[in-house]
């Protein structure tokens, strides 16, 4: 088990970063650790780096202190990579990780490459936020830190719905609620609430470009042109793939959105039979058994054929 006191011994500067296109767990775990180090290790100068986060996550304390650009002095004594399986996924902060004297990775992706000096990788854990919860001294968790951890757990478990939700997850959530946080508000505001434009894009994805193959694999996509038309960004498309997944009879859901011409970000979700982390890794991506992602270069047509092909192979093996 990791010990913060040991890691931070003699440390003057600490950095924290998560994966590109930060989601709830990535943002929650990073901001929780950031607040904790700021509060209980005041002798350490701590910074947190993330790409732009969804607007609703700005309710978290410390969100406005997130750095989006590299500092002049890139030398950190220790650098934490959270919820991230490889250096490349750290995006612009990868440089800071590579130049740090010591590196630590805390993560729950099965595809994690154990790329740091110290690695705490627990693929069974619901979320990186639950791992950070385990790492922190419980009595030192403030209400603001609890909000960040709760948000992270809520997002990676789909509001305690997915099979990654363990008794330990519920125990952590209960303890966080005891810190006085407004749990329902975090769920409503950061998970369920969608803007009008987001609902319109969801409608488009569920109606126009949707395809159901053999009743088992469901697929849809959104082009850059549509994103511009509705005025939405990549971070506004969260949730579409989950809506595809809940379709009766479906084993795997595939959702694509265009990053730039000829390049697509792909989200994969599954119910019981398909290990989507294997599918993602086949195409150079990664993730979890039930939720994974990758970047695909080619046409939508190529993407459907290739990715559905990989999913179908697994379904055939199962049959």
Binds 130: which of ligand 5GP, Mn ion, none (CB < 5-8 Å by kind): none
Q: Which residue's CB is nearer to Mn ion, number 147 or number 156?
A: 156
What is the residue-wise DSSP string for the chain?
A: ---HHHHTTT-SEEEEE--SS--HHHHHHHHHHHHHHHHH-TTSEEEEE-SPPPGGGGGSTTGGG-B-S--S----SEEEEES-SSGGGGGGGHHHHHHSSEEEEEE--TT----SSEEEE-TTSS-HHHHHHHHS-GGG--HHHHHHHHHHHHHHTTTTTSTT--HHHHHHHHHHHTTT--HHHHHIIIII---HHHHHHHHHHHHTS-EEETTTEEEEEE-HHHHHHHT--GGGGTTHHHHHHTSTT-SEEEEEEEEETTEEEEEEEESSS--HHHHHHHTT-EE-SSEEEEEEES-HHHHHHHHHHHHHHHHHHH-
Q: CB under 6 A: which stretch of 55-63, 139-147, 223-231, 283-291 binds ligand 5GP?
A: 283-291
Q: How far is the CB of 44 from ligand 5GP (least distance, A)?
A: 27
Q: Does residue 295 interact with ligand 5GP by CB under 6 A?
A: yes
Q: Does residue 244 interact with ligand 5GP by CB under 6 A?
A: no
Binding site for Mn ion (CB under 5 A): 25, 83, 128, 156
Q: Pick from 291, 303, 308, 311: which binds ligand 5GP (CB under 6 A)?
A: 291
Q: CB under 6 A: which stretch of 72-80, 96-104, 188-196, 281-289 binds ligand 5GP?
A: 281-289
Q: Does residue 285 interact with ligand 5GP by CB under 6 A?
A: yes
Q: Does residue 267 interact with ligand 5GP by CB under 6 A?
A: yes
Q: How far is the CB of 73 from Mn ion (least distance, A)?
A: 30
Q: Pick from 294, 303, 308, 311: which binds ligand 5GP (CB under 6 A)?
A: 294
Q: CB under 6 A: which stretch of 10-18, 94-102, 224-232, 287-295 binds ligand 5GP?
A: 287-295
Q: Which residue's CB is nearer to Mn ion, number 25 or number 47?
A: 25
Binds 251: which of ligand 5GP, Mn ion, none (CB < 5-8 Å by kind): none
Residues in contact with ligand 5GP by CB under 6 A are 19, 23, 85, 89, 109, 111, 267, 285-288, 291-295
């Amino acid at each position: 088990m990791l010990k913060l006191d040991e890691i931070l011994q003699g440390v003057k500067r600490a950095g924290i970063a998560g994966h590109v296109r930060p989601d709830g767990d990535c943002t929650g775990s990073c901001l929780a650790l950031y607040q904790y180090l700021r509060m209980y290790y005041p002798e350490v100068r701590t910074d947190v780096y993330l790409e732009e986060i969804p607007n609703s996550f700005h309710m978290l304390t410390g969100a406005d202190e997130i750095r989006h650009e590299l500092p002049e002095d890139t030398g950190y004594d220790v650098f934490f990579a959270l919820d991230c399986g490889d250096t490349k996924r750290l995006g612009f902060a990868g440089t800071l990780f590579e130049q740090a004297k010591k590196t630590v990775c805390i993560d729950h992706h099965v595809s994690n490459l154990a790329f740091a000096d110290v690695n705490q990788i627990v693929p069974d854990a619901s979320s990186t936020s639950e791992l950070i919860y385990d790492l922190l001294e419980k009595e030192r968790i403030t209400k603001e830190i609890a909000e960040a951890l709760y948000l992270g757990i809520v997002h990676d478990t789909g509001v305690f719905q997915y099979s990654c939700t363990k008794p330990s997850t519920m125990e952590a959530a209960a303890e966080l609620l005891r810190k006085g946080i407004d749990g329902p508000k975090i769920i409503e505001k950061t998970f369920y609430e969608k803007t009008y434009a987001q609902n319109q894009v969801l409608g488009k994805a569920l109606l126009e470009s949707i395809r159901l193959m053999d009743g088992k694999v469901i697929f849809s996509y959104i082009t850059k042109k549509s994103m511009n038309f509705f005025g939405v960004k990549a971070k506004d498309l969260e949730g579409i793939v989950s809506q595809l997944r809940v379709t009766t009879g479906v084993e795997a859901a595939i959702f694509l959105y265009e990053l730039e011409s000829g390049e697509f970000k792909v989200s994969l979700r599954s119910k019981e039979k398909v290990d989507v982390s294997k599918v993602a890794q086949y195409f150079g991506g990664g993730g979890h058994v039930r939720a994974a992602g990758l970047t695909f270069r080619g046409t939508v047509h190529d993407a459907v054929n290739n990715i559905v092909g990989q999913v179908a192979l697994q379904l055939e093996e199962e049959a």
